[in-house]
Amino acid sequence: MTIQYDEDLVAGWLRRFKWALKRMPSPEREDIVAETRAHLHERMAGGLTAVQALANFGAPEAYAGKFLDEMYLSAAAGSQSWSDNLRAVARFATRSGVAFVAIFVVLMVGSLGLGFLIAGVWKIFDPAHVGMWVGPRDFALGVVDHPEASRELLGNWMYPLCAAAVALAWFICRGVLLWAVRILAPKA
């Protein structure tokens, strides 16, 4: 009776484990499940009950998370795609200070870059109200309601400034993500 119970318990745990690994390519997933099954059977052959053996592995979703983390970081470390790097670093943002700082910097610098992109495009459609403005009591980069109360400093130089700011934001964000992935990736 306990042998059947143990087998059913292990089979159910392995089913949940395999389901938790669904994002992993099939050949790798099958290898990991087979290896985990072998480890479980070794422990049970060594005298542990199924409950004791499974307790060492923890919840199947948590155990699968370790393999998925490694897969995402390995893919990001070997990739030049910013989306792979962002996805991998975001996955660790709540568990790693490095990832949290990287995501924070990407959000802040990316927002500034997006702001410059919007200002540059908006300048094309409303050049009389968009620019770098200085007045008696204010300084603004962007849109003003009453351009006659201020003086526009950049004119058409707004376009190269916005393009340079967007490019700089892109390179900073990319560099921060690559730095974070290098630190987080498992060392070979």
Q: Please tell me the total count of domains within the chain.
A: 2
In 162-186, which positions are buried (b, 16+ CB within 10 angstroms) versus exposed (e)? beebbeebeebbeebbbbbbeebbe
Which of 23, 56, 77 is at the close of a domain?
A: 77
Q: Can you read off the two tokens belonging to residue 145?
A: 């309601």
Domain, as residue range, for 144: 80-188
Instruction: Look at residue 17 and tell me whether its pLDDT is greater than 50.
Output: yes
pLDDT for 162 = 94
pLDDT for 100 = 95
Same domain? For 91 and 180 the reply is yes
Same domain? For 105 and 54 the reply is no
Angle at 100 between CA 98 and CA 104, to 5 degrees: 120
Same domain? For 15 and 70 the reply is yes
67-118 pLDDT tens trace: 888 888 887 777 777 888 888 888 888 888 999 999 999 999 999 999 999 9
Which of 62, 77, 92 is at the close of a domain?
A: 77
Same domain? For 46 and 131 the reply is no
d(CA 135, CA 144) in angstroms, rounded, equals 11
Same domain? For 141 and 61 the reply is no
Same domain? For 70 and 147 the reply is no
pLDDT for 1 = 41
124-153 pLDDT tens trace: 998 888 888 898 888 888 888 888 888 888
Same domain? For 11 and 99 the reply is no
Which of 60, 77, 94 is at the close of a domain?
A: 77
pTM score: 0.70
Same domain? For 29 and 93 the reply is no
Instruction: Look at residue 2 and tell me whether its pLDDT is greater than 60.
Output: no
Same domain? For 177 and 101 the reply is yes
d(CA 77, CA 75) in angstroms, rounded, equals 6
Same domain? For 73 and 150 the reply is no
